[in-house]
Amino acid sequence: MLLLGFPQVLTFGIFANVQMVGGSEMATEAVPQARTGACNDALADSNEPIPDRPRKPGGFTVDEFFQLPDLPPHTELIDGELVFASLHRWFHMRTLRLLEQGLVGALPPRFEVNREMSVTIGERQVPEPDLSVIPAAAVHDHRDTWYPADVVILAVEVESPESEARDRERKPQLYARAGIQHFWRVEEQDGQPVVYVYELDPVTQTYLPTGIHRDRLKLTAPFDLDLELVF
């Protein structure tokens, strides 16, 4: 059973100015340039420019999040707080390409594979799975930038040191409570991907592990898949 907790979010800094978003007062916090560890991607490298991070008492709602101007690409909203993406490592991008190409090649046309697209959950959550699978019928047009969680069949997260806590704890909790039936978490072991596969228990709304896959990912649910996991 997964023990699911909450990521830490930094609160130090100074308020640089105040803006209005969706009729609510919002402060822009000047974020110090420092390394924070695995729990927060917002501060990734002391030598990189860090954007000002808007903050709001009580956190942002989903609607307010989508109105915020000039957010960095792949910013997420977790528990009302903004989480900025760190630079991806080679392993992360190579694993994403391997899984994405494998899914696209194996799935019938009634499914759509999305890479790094936002998913809305309730009023305060907009995570961005590394990969997600939805029914093709859920796609509206080429301008889509997010999908509601209730159309997501599978969410996939590839761990990095900066996202490990969220990928192991908070995100699976959010996906399970939103009713996403299948979740894969991918770790690096000896330079190769290892896929941990989970399926939702609808009664407890938690994920149950169904397998750990090295070298080869062979599944029959939520669809037939046979994929080598070796670079």
Domain ranges of the chain: 14-83, 90-228
* Predicted local confidence at residue 123, as pLDDT: 97
Domain topology for 90-228: tt1808, chain A (3.90.1570)
Edge-to-edge strands, sheet with 14-21: 14-21, 24-30, 53-55
Cis before 222 (ω within 30): yes
Residues in the chain: 231
Distances 70 to 13, 27, 183, 194, 204 between C-alpha atoms, Å: 20, 15, 31, 35, 39
pLDDT at residue 42, rounded to an integer: 39
Q: What pTM does this model have? A: 0.80
d(CA 55, CA 231): 41
At 45 the pLDDT is: 39
Provide the 3-class DSSP secondary structure of residue 118: strand
| Predicted pLDDT of residue 229 | 97
**Residue that is written with structure tokens 């009302």 in the block:** 80
Residue 187: strand pairing partners: 194
Distance of alpha carbon 224 from the chain centroid? 24
pLDDT of residue 38: 37
CA distance 211 to 98: 19
- The residue whose two tokens read 């803006």 is 19
**148 contacts: CB under 8 Å, gap ≥ 6:** 119, 120
Q: What's the pLDDT score for residue 1? A: 43
Distance CA 60, CA 188 (A): 33
Cα-Cα-Cα-Cα torsion 160, 167, 156, 41, nearest 10 degrees, comes to -50
In a structure prediction context, what are the per-residue pLDDT tens digits for the chain, which is 231 residues long? 444 433 433 333 333 444 555 555 565 554 433 333 333 333 333 344 455 678 899 999 999 999 999 999 999 999 999 999 988 899 999 999 999 999 999 999 999 999 999 999 999 999 999 999 999 999 999 999 999 999 999 999 999 999 999 999 999 999 999 999 999 999 999 999 999 999 999 999 999 999 999 999 999 999 999 999 999
